[in-house]
Amino acid sequence: MSSDHAVDPDEPRPRITILADTPDGPDSVRRLHDHGDIRIAHDEASLRDALPGSEILLVTDFRTEALEAAWPAADSLRWVHAASAGVDQLMFDALVDSDIPVTNAQGIFDRNIAEYVLGAILMFAKDTRANITYQQQRRWVHRDTESIHGKRVLVAGAGSIGREIGRLCKAVGMDVTGIARRARDADEVFSAVHAADDIDTHLPNADYVVVAAPLTEATEHWFDARRFAAMARHARFINIGRGPIVVTDDLVDALVNQQIAGAALDVFEQEPLPSDHPLWGLDNVLMSAHMAGDFVGWRDALVDQFLDNLARWQRGDTLFNQVSKHHGYAPGAA
């Protein structure tokens, strides 16, 4: 992406509404005031007031009840941009059925999510959680740990994030296969890409199963008791996709009953995860607070990406990262 976002004084200033989580919006969006007539909304009422006449809607807060409720006030919208890779929370019927294009933040978080996944794999293989526990207990406990070289990674969701995960895993000598909506040829990252309908055939062969898929009707509750039972008992499960892709109670049962060896979870069906949830107490689980892709500077990177697309929109060029609204992801995230 270009870092040059100079403002052309002769260019008409579009009216842009930003749906944020605070009345002033995040600090990073202040840069946008040089590029348009900016309105900031933070709830249904303020969104209803802001939308009339707005040509562009930038969504940084994904409370779809506010957006869906205020949608009739959107009388001039020509483009909706989601400042996230996932757009499942935006896919209400009126927006899906409209001819208004939706774009997302695909590409911003790929590398950092991939680093998170590789880090989780290494933590499992090197028993890092136990090392920390023994350190806190001041105990010297020697044991052998695993090598990840040659281990098999199945990435369920072979789009841009899944591909970056596969690239890093392959770089350290792991064998990576992918699951996509449709099967496709092997390439320099994936030794094979299988169709989602065939996932049950390939689950038993994986040492690590990584969920990197978007949340759609097809992937909601994709991983349930039957799928965990199909995995190898030594396998680890990693979810950096969306929480509702997993039936959480079934995952807890699989972990407690040692049907699988462990899980690393960044996303959950209920967020924040309640403090009394059984996942907190499992010693074969690594958890983080939906932050796998967030890095120092990510908010500015999102603004840069939006401004690049805004320049395209003003020139009349095709927008990048345009989402297939009926499938729920941009083409590169298939």
Residue range 76-123, pLDDT digits in tens: 999 999 999 889 889 999 999 999 999 999 999 999 999 999 999 999
Domain assignment of residue 9, yes or no: no
CATH number where 262 lies: 3.40.50.720
- Asked whether residue 155 is domain-assigned, the answer is yes
Confirm whether 269 is a catalytic residue.
no
Say whether both 192 and 90 belong to one domain: no
Q: Are 53 and 149 in a shared domain?
A: no
Domain membership flag for residue 159: yes
CA 62 to chain CA centroid, Å, is: 13
In this structure, the answer to whether residues 226 and 88 fall within a common structural domain is: no
Count CB atoms within 10 A of the CB of residue 184.
15
CA–CA separation, 82 and 105 (whole Å)? 7
Do 67 and 206 have their domain in common? Answer: no
Q: Is 54 part of a structural domain of the chain? A: yes
Are residues 254 and 229 in contact, defined by beta-carbon separation less than 8 angstroms?
yes
Query: Is there a catalytic annotation at residue 115?
Result: no
231 and 325 both lie in a single domain:
no
**Same domain, residue pair 72 and 136:** no
pLDDT of residue 12: 77
Domain residue limits at 96: 15-108+295-333
Whether residues 169 and 99 fall in one domain: no
**Comparing 6 with 30, which gets the higher pLDDT?**
30
Total structural domains within the chain: 2
56: β partners: 16, 79
Chosen domain end from 287, 309, 325? 287
Same domain flag for 49 and 71: yes
Domain assignment of residue 3, yes or no: no
Among candidate residues 65, 217, 220, 271, the one labeled active-site is 271
Sign of the torsion formed by the C-alpha atoms of 7, 13, 14 and 18: positive
Q: Which of 290, 299, 312, 327 is catalytic?
A: 290
Domain end position, chosen among 287, 307, 325: 287
Instruction: Please tell me whether residues 312 and 270 are part of one structural domain.
Output: no
Q: pLDDT tens digits for 213-257?
A: 999 999 999 999 999 999 999 999 999 999 999 999 999 999 999
Specify whether 271 is located in the same domain as 302.
no
160-171 and 110-125 helices, crossing angle to 10°? 40
Residue 94 lies in a domain: yes
| Tens digit of each residue's pLDDT (9 = 90 or more) over 24-76 | 888 888 899 999 999 999 999 999 999 999 999 999 987 668 999 999 999 99
Same domain, 278 and 299: no
- Residue 86's pLDDT is what? 86
pLDDT per position as a tens digit, 289-302: 999 999 999 999 99
148 domain residue, yes or no: yes
d(CA 59, CA 321): 15
- Say yes or no: 119 and 129 in one domain: yes
290 is catalytic: yes
| Sign, CA torsion 180/182/183/185 | negative
Model-wide pTM > 0.85 = yes
Q: Is residue 70 part of a domain?
A: yes
